[in-house]
A and B are shown apart, each in its own frame.
Chain A
Amino acid sequence: MSTSFVLNGASTTLDADPAMPLLWAIREVSGLHGTKFGCGMALCGACTLHVDGEAVRSCVMPLSSVAGKQVTTIEGLQSKAAKAVQAAWIQLQVPQCGYCQSGQVMSATALLEKNTAPTDADIDGAMSGNICRCATYSRIRAAIHAAAQSIKA
């Protein structure tokens, strides 16, 4: 059985179990490895990607649910907000082990695409679903503020 959707701007049809979580379809069928597996229960955010511009946890989302939708992974980030986020992440040297950072970048990008001047409370709201065991949280917060500034400039 196959599911058709738009993956990083390109029409894609995946021949896979429609109940397979989107995370594993993206990783094992499409071969895009930037999106990570952390918990399998939408608790940690390592698998965050965008479906129609919304940050979602792909580990619990069946492949069938994205039929006809726009899916963006870290490999397909193009927006001004995304580039600002990635530049700020480098400038402030956010990552340590780095495993959660694709998900962090995806959540931060989705936030800034909707809200160009997030407050600390906005950041808590958008980012508290993304766990970082290295606890790079202070830098994530600072980098989101820095990215917001650079988008405005």
Chain B
Amino acid sequence: MVLETELLPFREWLLWGPFVWLLVMGSLAVAGLFFGSLVAVIRHGPAAGLAATGRVLAAAVGDLFCMSPRRVWALAWLAVKDSLRRRVVVVFIVFLLLLLFAGWFLDPSSDHPLRLYISFVLTATSYLVLLLMLFLSALSLPNDLKNKTLHTVVTKPVRPSEIVLGRMLGFVVLGTTLLALMSAISYVFVVRGLAHSHEVVQASLAAVDPRQDADQGAVPLRGESTRVNGHRHDVRIDRKGQGLLEMTQDHYHRVARRQDGEKTVYEVGQPEGMLVARVPVYGKLRFMDSQRHVAERGTNVGDEWAYRSYIQGGSLAAGVWSFEGVTPTAFSDNLQLEMTLGVFRTYKGDIEQGVAGVLLLRNPKTGLTVEAKVFKSREFSTDVHRLPRKITPTAAYALQPEKDPDGRIKYVRKPLGADAKAQYDLFDDLTDDGQLEVWLQCLDPEQYFGVAQPDLYLRARDASFALNFVKGYFGIWMQMVLVIGFGVMFSTFLTGPVAMLATVGMLIGGFFRGYMIELALGQTWGGGPVESLIRILTQDNVVSDLPEGIRTTVAQTVDSVLQRGLWVVAQLLPSFGDYDCASYVAYGFNVPGNWIAERGLTALGFAVALFVVGYFFLKTREVAR
């Protein structure tokens, strides 16, 4: 699975996440205060205007901090009741219909059926729920204002903050219920949809060793299974009659032989290895060049997508992952190492054959290095290597860092001498305080392995797939909270359709947030808006500097002001796609705890901000017209 941005550890994130939130909220408060006072001064004159601003601020303290849970809950209940009246149930029925007819367009012979099923249910749910919530949240308050039903509410001792929070809470409660129901149904749909079994085609069974007779029994057999759901498996059965329908479409089946009178029956189990939530332990990746000097990156093979960096084959170049927490308690008795390598071939070679590589394990403290496994790469799929606790290496030596005369660090191979053993213990010899280095080298000259940090990981004990599935829905839940927050906030001062458009606008803007930040930080070619405009008009290229002079100075000064504004605007937009964790679930990876915590807190930060902004808009508007 591709992870282009590295997820920060939660503690590290806590150092700056809340700080950015406070900074943005502070800027927003200052801007709000300034524009609010300005409007009040224009309307009522300086003294009365400032007094009015003061009154609003004083009231805000009470309104925001002395809300009554009972009233908020009553208003939330009203929002739920109102939504139910609007036939929210229809959405649920549409969802059920979609699942009912999903069989028509979900291809069971897909290479990765789980990905297909998961992305289908998550996409269907998110489109339905998000659209529904967009309509409900943006139209609800304006409708109440239009029908004047809000008049009988605000003339009770209800604070504007309670109205805004009540609405948000009501929709969140409704959406959560809807999502919970949908996730339960989807789970059953996915599990049942992928459940299948095969039969072993007995005529196909033959002894692995052609010199043995398959009919004699008690010999290892190979053959194939029947075709179900568009695929068949290779079958391997050991001499005891136990075996596997081997990995195809991301799953395998266990098979067992038994005698039923005269007949030999092969019992095939349900698919395994598909509904998983792998817990990858990622390491820090660094590179060695062809002379085993420490390098910043690997070789650049000219790929525009700079995600992967390449390791030159037939040289000492290596990618080195440093892991922590590699202990017997975390990994039981063996180490499962999984990797997805990109392969760059400078010559075609035998395209059926993978490119050869070697995995080295190194103790970062002692420098002891063993060649754990030589392998052939499998492109476009996850390569699984189980390393036993006791490793008998093809070679063992020490790799020690030394400084070159030119100051560069180089790892030098040294013999072990008397320390050499025939067998090494993974945890006792090769790790130090849970630290382990995995070195990956490409053996075929002129071929390259492309690697990125998340491409190679150690697989710890799997997490629960059901729980991971729920986490996938939690991602949609967070997106829903954002939609509701924006919808309700905009609806406090805009009419329904305009509030809806504004919400959609914010979400679309959120998709471009990354680019906006790049623009704001001046990381794009061609300069800021004014400079770019000059380049367009003068048909100047984006790379060369503009000629020095007053025109350029003015343009760049204006740009720097605009860029600061752009930065603030970008911070106000939610990076909507970041809350989507469907790919984790679909690719069978556990959604990490820090992902949940960081995204959850960010969404909460947005919700709080939107609530406060919504409150001020409702407080300062006239309910009647």
A and B: partners?
no
Chain B residues proximal to chain A, CB less than 8 Å: none
Chain A residues proximal to chain B, CB less than 8 Å: none
